[in-house]
A = this chain, B = another copy of it.
Amino acid sequence: MNVGDVGEFGLIARLARIVGSERPDVVVGIGDDVAVLDVGGPRWLVATVDAHVEGVHFLRHLITPQQLGRRALAVNISDIAATGGEPAFALVSLVLSESEEVEWLEELYRGLRAEAERAGVAVVGGNIARSPGPMIIDITLLGHVRPEHMLRRNGARPGDVVLVTGTLGDAAAGLRLLLNPSPDLAAPYALPVAEREALVSRLMTPTPRLAESRVVARAGLATAMVDISDGLSSDVGHICTASRVGVRLWADRLPVSDSTRRVACLLGVPAWELALSGGEDYELCFTVPRRVALDLAARVTNETGTPVTAVGEVLPPEAGRRLVLPGGQDVPLEARGWEHFAPPS
């Protein structure tokens, strides 16, 4: 049996069974996006690691080293933001060949520094190893979270409202622009250059929602939170699994930017499909009891300027995971997000 047969999440479950253990200082252990650890101070430590593999997570001719440095750190920051925590320290593990250009790597580190400074992160160490294979940037990010602020995937309750920050599908639209520059999409009358660049930069240099996460965490009203890295349909599923609940999303309530609507139209795909399953947006998705949901959404927008949209509702587990299409048809919600080694469905 090989990894392709069981898929990424199947493999993680098998490996977690071997090394998983209960310990009082491990608040959240293997199987989550982040580990949460009691290290003796007033705040818990949060830790997460994420690898960017050349040819799989980035293509060198499509991204500058500065963008890559920013991105590699940003996706980790987003994981910590989703806990209501604050990122603090990064360890950077590089795997590369000796023919790699030093100047290119210095540019990569300038990107890292830019993102680190933006988020209050110190790069405190790492490792450099030689490899004949693709370049890999593997970043471990450590941060802090106050126990009373911490949000996980497992607290959503039936009746809660599902909220998302910002707009969804922009990174997916940016990826399609990048990979399929057909004349229709590239022509100036189809999409202004500035809009095109904005979409591509959402993909290349996502902005983790740290300020928004702070407002949500301090309000103490949300019941669960994730960041949208794989795609809303997949990531909201993580909340459902961990919270043992169902969910209903409305396709026509998903927040989509005008630019992404235009790309979707030119591509001939529904915009909500890009928003639902595109991934890489690094927005936050959180659940909030109905009576305070609009209040919290308004608070986030007032304090950060970022729109917050109600896109669904949490259901009892027996209701399953549902999607209401724009025409009103209620269909099963398929998790179509990104999964490494997705097993055959």
Contact = CB atoms under 8 A, between A and B. Distances in A.
Interface of A: 1-6, 8, 11-12, 14-15, 18-21, 23, 25-26, 28-32, 34-35, 37, 39-43, 45, 47-51, 53, 55-57, 88-89, 91, 93, 95-103, 105-106, 109-110, 112-113, 116, 122-134, 136, 138, 140, 142, 144, 340-341
A80 to B, nearest CB: 12
A8 B101 contact: no
Contacts of A31: 125
Contact of A3 (B32, B98, B127): B98
A102 B19 contact: no
A40 B37 contact: no
Given A1-B101, A127-B138, A132-B133, 17 more contacts: A2-B98, A2-B101, A8-B128, A15-B106, A18-B112, A23-B122, A30-B125, A37-B88, A37-B142, A40-B42, A48-B125, A49-B125, A49-B140, A55-B132, A95-B138, A128-B340, A131-B134
Contacts of A98: 2-4, 341
Nearest to A123: B19
B91 A131 contact: no
B48 A45 contact: no
A47 B89 contact: yes
A102 B1 contact: yes
A163 B80 CA distance: 43
19 contacts: A2-B99, A2-B100, A2-B102, A11-B105, A21-B122, A29-B122, A30-B123, A35-B89, A37-B89, A40-B43, A47-B142, A49-B126, A53-B129, A56-B132, A57-B129, A91-B140, A98-B341, A133-B133, A138-B138
A136 B136 contact: yes
Contacts of A25: 88, 122
Contacts of A99: 2-4
A21 B109 CA distance: 13
A18 B3 CA distance: 38
B133 A131 contact: yes
A15 B15 CA distance: 35
B129 A56 contact: yes
Nearest to A45: B39
